[in-house]
Each structure stands twice: as C-alpha cells, then as structure tokens.
A and B are shown apart, each in its own frame.
Chain A
Amino acid sequence: MRYKTMTAVAALVLSAPAAFAGGADDDTLAIDGQEMVTKTTAPAHMEETGIDTIMSGWHFREDDTQSMQMDTFDNPGMIFVDQAMDAWNTVEGNAEKSCASCHEGPESMEGVRAVYPKWNEEAGEVRTLAMQINDCRETQMEAEPYKYDSAPMAAMEALISVQSRGMKVDVAIDGPAADTWEQGKDLYYTRTGQLELSCANCHEDNYGNYIRADHLSQGQINGFPTYRLKNARLNTAHGRFKGCVRDTRAETYAPGSPEFVALELYVASRGNGLSVEAPAVRN
C-alpha cells in the first residue's frame, strides 16, 4: 500500500504518459441501472494482508472496456448467456432430462453464484459451480459432463451467475470448508516457476501498478466467467489461473484440479462483499 501510494504520487509528479495512470479509478458501475458494489471493506480474514479495501477488476480497465459492461446489450458476453439458455432447456442424456426438468427457469438459480464454491455435505467435498453443473449432467441427466474449461461450461456458468448479478459474494470459509480454504491460501502465497512469483506478488503487493501494458488488479473473480476482447469468448476462473501460473514460467495445474478448486475458494473469499458482476468484460 505504502509503496503503491508512493508510486502513484511519483507518477503524478512526473506528469507521466497516460499509461501511468496509477491505482484504481473512482468510477461507479451500474449495469442496466442497477448499481454494483465494486469497492468495499475487505473481509475480516484479509486483515493480515494489509489490504483494507477490496476492488473489482472493473476499476483497473480503460473507460471503453468499462462501458461495455454497463449495458446488457453492449456486453458481448451476453451472447453466450443466450446460448446457455437454449442448453438449459435442451434434453440430453439417458434420463431424458434438461436442466429445466428439475429446476424450471434459470431464475431459480438466484443466489447460487454468490455462495460458490461451497461445501457439499453428501459428497464430502468443496464444489465449484462447474463441478455442480457436471454432477447434475452426470447423475441427474445421465449425460456427458462438459469439459471443465470448455465453452458450453463457461456459458452455463455465466447464465447461472447472471441470476445473482448485484448480489454480494458470500462464500463460507469455515466449518468443513476450512481445510480446502487453507490449501487455497497456501497456493496463493506460493512463489512458482522460474520467475518465482506468487498470486500475492502481483495481485496483493502490486495491484494498481502497471506490469508492462497490463494494469494489475487485485485478481478478483466476482466477474467470472469474463468476456475478454483479446480472445472474444468467455473465460473461466480456472482458465485465468492457468494463464497466470504459466506466466511465472511454471508448470500449471489443470482446470478442475483439486488445487485450482481450493484456490478458487480462497480467491472467491477475498471478494466477499463485492457484487457478482458476471459476465464482466475485460481486455
């Protein structure tokens, strides 16, 4: 924090080029008129991190990227939500069921995104939304699971997430989820690869700073799956984790691996209190 503030001040003093804007901006995000919580007090478990305000990645993007997220019709990620709407109603598998057979409309999913990943008592494991979607496909529909990081999975996650848009992220980290959460926290602070960088090195120690052309955010996942202009599709949280780990010149974990599930729980918990924004728009 102190170092960052100094950098921001230095950047101002130098009246540096536009690229050196420094820090998060003060804009407000409303989607279709509904105001989102994009900055709020950090959850209690983050006390030791020195971060007192958590911020959505939205604050670190350029104005034109930001504005694409403010209106459902301008958000290119919504095309995939429409596709998932079709999938929701499509009968697949030997049980001859669709999502709608058990859950009626997607509105029934209101509140779900906000509390995932979540402990599943019956299965005795922490489940991500993707794991739950595949469990329904395999057990209830007797259909093939989606590939963890695939386009139809990302779209289905987006459709379910939209039902919670504006609700505050509130994942549980205590009770039976505590072990998984600790494991995720360990991973967050492990310096991997030949560059020996951890998630925290970039997203805790250096958010607000430019790392070449990229403006580092806090690496929050309240906007996932996100639509990226770079690849013109929805990107899952595990896909993003994989890319970040790869960039440390490390051997990545696989999307859906126990390690990334634990990491997702931990990263999600660092966003407790922010609005669900999915599908967010990023560069």
Chain B
Amino acid sequence: MNLIAKTTAAMLLAGAAVAGEVKPANVTFDDYGAVAESLSGTAGDPENGRALMIARSKGNCLACHQVSALDEAPFHGEVGPMLDGIGEYRTAEELRGIVANAKMMFDGTVMPAFYKTSGFVRPGDGYTGKGANEEDLTPILSAQEIEDVVAFLMTLQSS
C-alpha cells in the first residue's frame, strides 16, 4: 500500500476528529518558550488535569515534581522543582509552553516534551521497548490534555 495515500488518509481522519486543534509540529513558541494560543480551542478541565498529572501512563508529573495539592497520590519525585504556587508566578501561556515542550524555555532540561512527535532518537512504541515509526507517534498528552493540565496548574495558588 502506498505510504502517501495512507498518511493523507490518516491526516484527513485526524483533522476531522479534532478540528481547530494545533498540531504538535505547528505550535508557536515565543522567544521565552511560552505558547499564547490554546492548543485545542476548548477551555481546560482542571479535574481531568489533576488525574493526568498523577497517572503514570499519562503526565506522570509526580515522577519528578512534588505537589502538595496531590498529596492523596503517593511518592512525589525530587528531580524537578516543587510546583506549589506555580499558578501564581507563571502565566497560562508560560505553563502551556513548559508542558508542551519545556526545552523551549529550559535549554537541555530533563523534563520531557509532552506535545512533540518528531526529532527523537530510537522512538519506541509506548513502553514496550519495541520500535515505532516516527509518523505513527502521537504526543504523550493530546492537545486537550495539555489544556487540562495547564488548567490544573493554574489552580495551584499559594494560599
């Protein structure tokens, strides 16, 4: 089967399913690494964002960050800074940029890019250890999921 036809079909399908969504390759970061435009065009749901931050197969943000508001989930990591009060000293635009691709703001950071689908060395098929074709990769979080996580981060105000 010819690859071009397949890819185009996939693109049409994906396009139809998520109209108005910004594709990972088309995200515009400003000089500072922030992203002004909503990736999904739909407001984020902070409750879902909370769940995504905890879920190991999704954001797994707790692997590296401590977040007091998520104390109900065990084992918060120490690799990144603690995120209490982050919604107060970061704007939604900055947080969107950091979650989508933190390397645009923090050069060389260990924090993974959650909305990126190309430019990897030996990308795998999830956590199977098997290889994946770059054109089949989906971002770790979808456009809406990024918006949900950002919405949750904005609720983290130092009380």
How long is the Cα–Cα vector from A216 to B78 in the complex, in angstroms? 10
Shortest Cβ gap from A192 to chain B (Å): 5
**Interface members, chain A 155-209 (any B CB < 8 Å):** 190-197, 201-202, 205-206, 209
B contacts with A: majority SS? loop
* Option from B62, B75, B79, B124 in Cβ contact (under 8 Å) with A249: B124
Sample (30) of A-B pairs whose CB atoms are under 8 Å apart: A11-B78, A192-B120, A192-B122, A193-B120, A193-B121, A193-B124, A194-B116, A194-B120, A194-B140, A197-B110, A202-B110, A205-B110, A209-B77, A209-B79, A210-B78, A211-B63, A211-B64, A211-B78, A211-B79, A212-B62, A212-B75, A212-B77, A213-B75, A245-B122, A249-B123, A249-B127, A250-B120, A250-B124, A251-B132, A252-B129
Per a CB cutoff under 8 Å, which of B77, B121, B124 touches A252?
A: B124
A77 touches B (CB below 8 Å): no
Nearest Cβ distance between residue A247 and chain B, in whole angstroms?
7
Contact B75 A194 (CB under 8 A): no
Picked from B75, B78, B131, the residue with its CB within 8 Å of the CB of A7 is B78
Provide the residues of chain B in CB contact with A251, threshold 8 Å. 122-125, 129-132
Given known contacts A251-B129, A251-B130, is B60 in contact with A212 (CB within 8 Å)?
yes
| Closest Cβ neighbor of A246 among chain B residues | B129
CB neighbours of A213 from chain B (8 A): 74-75
- Tell me, yes or no, whether B69 is within 8 Å of chain A by CB: no
A194–B137 Cα gap in the complex (Å)?
9
The interface residues of chain B lying within 8 Å CB-to-CB of A11 are 78
Residue B87 is within 8 A (CB to CB) of chain A in the complex: no
Distance between A41 CB and nearest chain B CB, rounded to angstroms: 26
Say yes or no for A219: interface residue by CB 8 A criterion.
Answer: no
B82, closest chain A residue (CB): A10
**B156 → chain A closest CB, angstroms:** 17
Question: Which B100-137 residues have a C-beta within 8 angstroms of A?
Answer: 110, 112-113, 116, 120-132, 137
